Structure 1
Amino acid sequence: MADIKQNRIEIFLDENKESIASYVPPAKFDLDTSELEDGEHTLIIVAYGDDEKRSIRKIKFFVRNGPGIAIQGLRENDVVEGKISLLVNAYGGSTAEKWEPTTAETPAAIPSWIWIMFILITAWAIFYFINEWKPTEEFANTPTYKNLQMPVEKKVVVNETATNGADLYRKSCSSCHQENGQGLTNVFPPLMSDDVINSDKTDQHIKIVLFGLEGKVINGVKYATPMPSWESQLSDEEIAAVINHERSSWGNKGKLVSPEEVSKIRAGGK
C-alpha cells in the first residue's frame, strides 16, 4: 500500500535555516518571545502540499520584553550640529512588578498653541465678567457699589501752545494767508509747502514774522504787498506759537522754535 502524503507546516524564525516547529495542519502552537532579543523579527511559515509544492508567508513583528525607551530632543533623520541636549526615559518592561505612570511619562514642554488658547480664553473670561457681571440687589444698594458707579471726570489735556498758535494765526494772519495756508494768487504768498517754513533753519522764518517783509520773490512770483511787522504786537511766546502752528499745519513739517530763539533774534534786530 502506497504512503499517503499529507499537508504539513514548518515554522522558521528570522534567518534560521532550521525550523522551530513542524506540524500537520491545522496546528496551534505557542511562540515564546522571552527567549528573543527585543527588536524586529520575522516569522516564516512554509506550507507543503501533498505534491510537495510549497507556499511561504512572512510576518514581521516587534518584541519588547525589556523597558520601553523614549527620547526628547532628537528624532529619526534629524540633521544636527554641535552639542544637543537630550532627555532619555525608560519605562515598563516584563520584569516590573507593577506599572508606574510616573515612569512611563517623559516630561515635555507645553506646546505654544496651548498657552495661546489659555491666554485668549482667560482674556475673554475677564472681558465677559467685566461687561456682563451684575451685582445682587443687596450689594447694588450699598454705598460701596454706588461709589464705584460714580462717573469719573476726565481731564482733557490740551496743547496750549498749539491752540494759542492757531488762534493767533486766525486773528492775525489768516486774512492774508488764508486759514488753509494757501494765500491769494499773486497777492499773498502761500505758507503750505513753503521752503522757508519747512527748513530746519528757523532764523529766516522768525525774522519775517518779527520784522515783516516786502517785495519778496517766491517761486518766480514777486509779492508787492508788504507783510507787517509783529515785533511790537506779539510777545516771544506768541510769535513762537504762531510760527510753530505754521510749521506743523497743512502738511508742513518744519523744525519747531522756542521763545528763547525768538528773543535772541529780536535782540539782534534786523
Structure 2
Amino acid sequence: MAEDNSNLIHVYLDDQEEPIVSYRPPVRFELDTTQLEDGPHKLKVVATDATGHKGVREIPFEVRNGPGIDVEGLQDNDTLDGKVPILLNAYGGAKEPFWEPARAETPAPVPTWAWVLLLVVVAWSTFYIAQQWNVPEEFAATPTYSRYSGQGQVSRQTAGQPASSSKANIGATLYRTSCASCHQGNGEGVPGAFPPLAGDPVVTAEDPTRHIEIVLFGMQGKTIEGVEYSAAMPPFSEQLSDQEVAAIVNHERTSWGNDAPTVTAEQVQNVRAKETSN
C-alpha cells in the first residue's frame, strides 16, 4: 500500500535530501542548532496538499553557537594602509558550562572626551578652592568666612590679615549676629525699647566691669538721659566664651565714636567667676 504524503509538511536543512521532520500541519518542533556549524544555513519547508500540489518556502538563517568575537581597529569594508594595530577578543560560547563576564569586556583606552571632562573638573575645582582660600577683604568679616571654635578662636584667619584686624572682625561679626538686631548696626538702639551703645556711659567708662556684666548676665530696665528702656537684655554667658564676650565688648567700646579701654578674655573670666561664686 503506497504511503499517503498528502497534507504533509516536510522540513529540510541546508541541502540534505532527506527531511529532518515530516508532520501533518499544524506542527511545532525544536531545531537544535548546537549540532550545526557556525555560519549561514537554510531551512526549506515543503508542504503538500490533498491534490499533491507542493508549496516551498526557504528560510535562510545564521548560527552562532561559538564564542562571540570582538574586533577593535578594523571595521567592515575599511580601507587600510601601513601597519594597523588590531585587538581581538572572544567570549561566551553557547556550549560553555560557565560564562565569565570578565572575558566579555574588551580592553579599551579611556576616550578623549573623558580626559577633557576630567581636566575641566580639575581646573574648575582648583579655581574654586583658590577663590575660597583668598577671601576678598570686603567679605572677610562675614559669617560665611568667619568661623569659630568652641573657645571662640577663629578656625581660619584671612590670608595676609594682621591678628589685630582679625580680632576686630570677630567682634564686628559677633555683634552683628548677637546684638545688632536690638542695638542696631550703628549702635543707636531703638528709642524707648533698646538703649544706644554709642556714647553710653557704661560702654565708655574706664572700668569695663559693668559693661562685661551686662553682656554676660543681661539686665532689664534702665534710664539713660531721662529715657526709660524697659526691654530685657538677655544674658550671653551660656552662649559665648570669654574670648567672644571680650571681642563684642571691645567692638562696642571702640565703635560709633566710642574710645574706651579694651578688655581681655582674662578680665571676662574673672567677672564670670566672681558672679558664679556669689
Q: What TM-score range do you get, normalising by the shorter chain?
A: 0.3 to 0.5
- TM-score, scaled to structure 1: 0.46
- TM-score, scaled to structure 2: 0.45
